[in-house]
Structure 1
Amino acid sequence: MDVNKAKSFITDTARPLELAEYRCIFEGGPRRAVAEELKRFQNPDGGFGNALEPDNWNPGSTPITTNDAIIRLHHCGALGEAGDMAEGIARWLRSGEGFLPEKRRWAGSVASNLLYPHAVWWEPGDHEGEGWNPTVSLAAFMACMDGEEKWKELVGEAFRWLESAEKIGGDEAKCFILAHGLLELYGVADVIDLEKGREAVRRAVGLSLCREVEKYGVDYAAGPSAFFCCEGYLPAGIDGLIKADLGAVDRLQMEDGGYDITWQWHTPYEEEFRQAREWWRPRVTMEKLGFYLAFKGGEL
């Protein structure tokens, strides 16, 4: 990887939010700036929308977009700077919007997504509420915010499932990482055994990692770089996967210094997809840069 070109690509093309994240993570910039930029995507009801996730242009609040806001705050260590923003998130989650009471899960996709430009995976279907993305991390956030027993029970149920899960996707694994990280951050020790939970999450990350290394960087497949920010959750024995992913990072850097996305929308929003791609590329490049620097360019 040409590190300087990657950094220049990010600083030249990122939205203000991703630029604030880059400066916080890679340059020791202010965490408050991340919270201030993220606030622009928050709605008066406390939830998040407004193309925070560039694949979904729904301006209204949705569970996964709100979860993405929590991920960004936690990743940058900015939850302590969130103040009213975090209180707003808790208020929206308490409202029950997007929650499926019969399944005791937050929906991954909501009907209002269909009214705005979106990728096909944002269209709701019969599968809603079948997994733990984003329920486990949203419930953990609430367990930390107000400690109600119903949230703790939901988190406990999720981690009991995780202990014996035989299959899990990368996005779902990230929600368990966030959930465990939040419980540790806020010192909430009466929901799960935190050390046992960490081992369960580490095992889940191992399950979610794609072993077909030829897909790294060219398909929507979770390689180790997808978890570069998750220190302490990568399993042992994956040196070969790490080296393969580092090889893809070297091979796939584009002339402008950035990295491309690995997906299409499969919906008839061609102009909006092109814009979303431009918003996504700096974030993808930050992921690759962080992974590359974490492993010192392949020196394991």
Structure 2
Amino acid sequence: MREAAARFVEQHARPLELAQYRVFFAKGDPNEVVNALLPFQNADGGFGHALEPDNWNPDSTPITTNDALLRLYDAGALDLNSGTAKHIAQYLLSGAEFDAHAMRWRFAVSGNIDHPHAIWWERRGDGIFGWNPTVSLAAFLVCMHAEGPWEALLTEAFDTLAQSGASSGDELTCFMFAWELLTREQIEGIIDGERARTAIIRAIDATVCRDTARYSTEYVTTPSTFFRSADSPFLVESFAPFIQAELETLPARQAPDGGFDISWQWHTDYPEAFAQARNWWRPRVTLDKLRFLTAFPDGV
């Protein structure tokens, strides 16, 4: 099963996902991921160009730039002293798509509608969706020692998480990245690290679908959304039954070609673009499932 998934990624992935695969499974150089991201980066330092295949807006957006940061960190390639990091900070500090009144970066921007996209990338109202991607981007700027209200935003974000939980798995992934980056950089005095970790664990528990029968048939939040390593600081024993349930559903969800498929539609009128996006998504989804399988080779 894992061998077939690996072959699928090797044969069908874009250069970026292939570079990530090599880092995770073939002792690849993390700088390959940095280089593979360059075609998606704009002159302003932000990212666009269908880095996330659901949104073909070529212009820089906060959410796409956040995706780049998460990929760099995941591959061990986020060097805060690098030109890449400084260029990203330059974009974020420009104020582009930052709502100064709400003190949030926009999740969806107006320009998305001019390009093939999934319906969730159409801006509604102010375009803000909870703390995604604000908590990630604020943590990055704090670690870059950039001037601005970023520490206050982090305090507010983690207080909100402790009180109300997360609105989605994607938002919670941003909190996990923020916590891990602050911990890695030994940034203290902004959040209570243990209280924040406990809040993240509680939010994961509330966000993962508890009806495991739906894992193989619906687009629901499963443990592999959060756990692609057995060393996660947020992995606790109570998640074991859900991890085991997902591991048991994966063989039935693997396609004959070895890959895994997406379980969503765009709900917008771009059939040809959606077909191409699906071809880009499948290796990314397959890589995530492969990492999950490898993290728990004997179950839990």
1:185-204 aligned at under 5 Å gives the runs 185-204=184-203
- The residue identity in structure 1 corresponding to 2:97 is G
Tell whether 2:109 aligns with 1:110: yes
Q: 1:115 & 1:212 partners in 2: Cα distance? A: 38
Instruction: Count matched residues.
Output: 298
- The residue identity in structure 1 corresponding to 2:237 is A
Deviation at 1:160, TM superposition (A): 0.6
| Gapped regions of structure 2 (runs ≥ 5) | none
- The residue identity in structure 1 corresponding to 2:279 is E
| Gapped regions of structure 1 (runs ≥ 5) | none
Which residue of 2 is the match for residue 252 of structure 1? Answer: 253
Q: 2:79 & 2:129 partners in 1: Cα distance? A: 32
- The residue identity in structure 2 corresponding to 1:15 is R
Tell whether 2:291 aligns with 1:290: yes
1:91-130 aligned at under 5 Å gives the runs 91-126=90-125, 128-130=127-129
Stretch of structure 1 that moved more, 212-221 or 50-59: 212-221
Q: 1:235 & 1:107 partners in 2: Cα distance? A: 33
- The residue identity in structure 2 corresponding to 1:128 is G
Match of 1:132, SS? coil
Q: 1:139 & 1:205 partners in 2: Cα distance? A: 21
Which residue of 2 is the match for residue 178 of structure 1? Answer: 177
Structure 1 stretches of at least 4 aligned residues deviating more than 4 Å after TM superposition: none
Does the C-alpha gap of structure 1 residues 153 and 119 become closer, same or farther in structure 2, counting only changes over 3 Å? same
On the 8 A contact 1:205/1:235 being kept in 2, the answer is: no
On the 8 A contact 1:75/1:229 being kept in 2, the answer is: no
Which residue of 2 is the match for residue 27 of structure 1? Answer: 26
| Percent pairwise identity | 47
Which residue of 1 is the match for residue 264 of structure 2? Answer: 263
Which residue of 2 is the match for residue 85 of structure 1? Answer: 84
On the 8 A contact 1:206/1:234 being kept in 2, the answer is: no
- Over aligned residue pairs, what C-alpha RMSD do you find? 1.5
Deviation at 1:283, TM superposition (A): 0.7
Q: 2:159 & 2:128 partners in 1: Cα distance? A: 17
Tell whether 2:144 aligns with 1:145: yes
On the 8 A contact 2:23/2:29 being kept in 1, the answer is: yes
Does the C-alpha gap of structure 1 residues 257 and 297 become closer, same or farther in structure 2, counting only changes over 3 Å? farther
Deviation at 1:120, TM superposition (A): 0.3
1:207-286 aligned at under 5 Å gives the runs 207-229=206-228, 231-286=232-287
On the 8 A contact 2:80/2:144 being kept in 1, the answer is: no
Q: 1:219 & 1:140 partners in 2: Cα distance? A: 33
- The residue identity in structure 1 corresponding to 2:37 is L
Q: 1:152 & 1:91 partners in 2: Cα distance? A: 18
* TM-score (normalised: structure 1): 0.95
Q: 1:182 & 1:254 partners in 2: Cα distance? A: 35
On the 8 A contact 1:48/1:69 being kept in 2, the answer is: yes
Deviation at 1:34, TM superposition (A): 0.5
Which residue of 1 is the match for residue 204 of structure 2? Answer: 205
On the 8 A contact 2:166/2:172 being kept in 1, the answer is: no
- The residue identity in structure 2 corresponding to 1:253 is Q
Does the C-alpha gap of structure 1 residues 218 and 89 become closer, same or farther in structure 2, counting only changes over 3 Å? farther
Q: 2:42 & 2:148 partners in 1: Cα distance? A: 27
Q: 1:164 & 1:193 partners in 2: Cα distance? A: 14
On the 8 A contact 2:118/2:268 being kept in 1, the answer is: yes
Does the C-alpha gap of structure 1 residues 290 and 276 become closer, same or farther in structure 2, counting only changes over 3 Å? same
On the 8 A contact 1:35/1:81 being kept in 2, the answer is: no
Does the C-alpha gap of structure 1 residues 161 and 182 become closer, same or farther in structure 2, counting only changes over 3 Å? same
